[in-house]
Amino acid sequence: MIETLDPKITDKPVARCASCDREMDHYNTFISPTNRPRNICWQCLAREEKNFFARRGYSRLARTGVIPR
């Protein structure tokens, strides 16, 4: 059975984030392959996804005036 929760409704219990160790009411629960729940708050999830697929030295050359052709 899949339980769906509306993210706008904060009726979920307060949980502690596994990354930053803060108590948050806006979080996502991930289930590990060993069936252990892991709560990650939205701020940590956004921080983790911010530089997804970007190399460390990546920069947009068009912003510096170089247009690759």
Residue among 39, 49, 32, 42 nearest 17 (CA): 39
In a domain, 63, yes or no: no
In a domain, 34, yes or no: yes
The rounded distance, in Å, linking the Cα atoms of 61 and 5 is 42
Residue 21 domain-assigned? yes
Q: List, for residues 43-60, the tens digit of each pLDDT value.
A: 888 877 775 555 666 667
**pLDDT tens digits along 14-40:** 899 998 888 988 888 999 899 999 999
Domain of 46?
15-50
If we measure between CA atoms, which residue out of 9, 47, 36 comes closest to residue 25? 9
Considering the domain boundaries, does residue 10 fall inside one?
Answer: no
- The residue among 25, 3, 29, 1 whose CA lies nearest residue 14 is 25
> Does 4 map to a domain?
no
Is the model's pTM score more than 0.75? no
Average pLDDT over the chain, rounded to an integer: 78
Domain total for the chain?
A: 1
